[in-house]
């Protein structure tokens, strides 16, 4: 069982992912507004960790630039079918963040856009898998790691 603050974070991330999986732009906007209230940095960390796990799972031999380009194109095309304002550079920023690569400090992509495109990235990478089990395992791992970091 997740503690209440962690549960709230998992719930808003799950709502955003469910909206993306359902191709529901209004529900996605509503969920992302809730993410902004509950904790955009924490949600970004969860989305980044989810994306990293899924990318590593799908590219066990590692990712090269062609793999990253293919992921960006795949996400942009899939999301572009139901969202008119997809920004491939924001998808690149989401992939880079998931892999621990941070773009320039003065990135032209605002953090809310990276979060939005991070949701789209994870939704595409899930490939039909259920969100909740992987999400909860990821949130629990992050909470455990944070607890170990504290003195």
Closest to 63 in 3D by CA, of 140, 134, 147, 125: 125
Q: How far apart are CA 14 and CA 71, in angstroms?
A: 21
Looking at residue 151, its pLDDT comes to: 64
Give the predicted TM-score (pTM) of the model: 0.90
Q: Where are the domains of the chain?
A: 4-149
Query: What is the pLDDT confidence band of residue 2, given thresholds at 50, 70 and 90?
Result: low
* pLDDT tens profile 44-66: 889 999 999 999 999 988 889 99
| Cα 30 to Cα 27, 70, 112, distances in angstroms | 5, 29, 13
Tokens coding 98: 């998931």
* pLDDT tens profile 22-38: 999 999 999 999 998 88
* pLDDT tens profile 116-140: 999 999 999 998 889 989 998 888 8
């Amino acid at each position: 069982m997740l503690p209440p603050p962690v549960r709230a974070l998992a719930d808003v991330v799950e709502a955003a992912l469910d909206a993306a999986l359902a191709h529901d732009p209004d529900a996605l906007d509503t969920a992302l507004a809730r993410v902004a209230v509950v904790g955009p940095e924490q949600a970004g960390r969860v989305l980044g960790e989810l994306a990293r796990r899924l990318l590593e799972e799908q590219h066990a031999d590692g990712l090269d630039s062609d793999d990253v380009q293919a992921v960006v194109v795949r996400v942009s095309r899939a999301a572009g079918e139901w969202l008119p304002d997809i920004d491939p550079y924001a998808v690149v920023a989401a992939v880079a963040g998931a892999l621990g690569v941070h773009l320039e400090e003065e990135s032209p992509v605002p953090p809310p856009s990276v979060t939005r495109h991070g949701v789209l990235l994870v939704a595409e990478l899930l490939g039909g898998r259920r969100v909740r089990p992987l999400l909860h395992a990821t949130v629990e791992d992050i909470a455990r790691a944070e607890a170990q970091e504290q003195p």
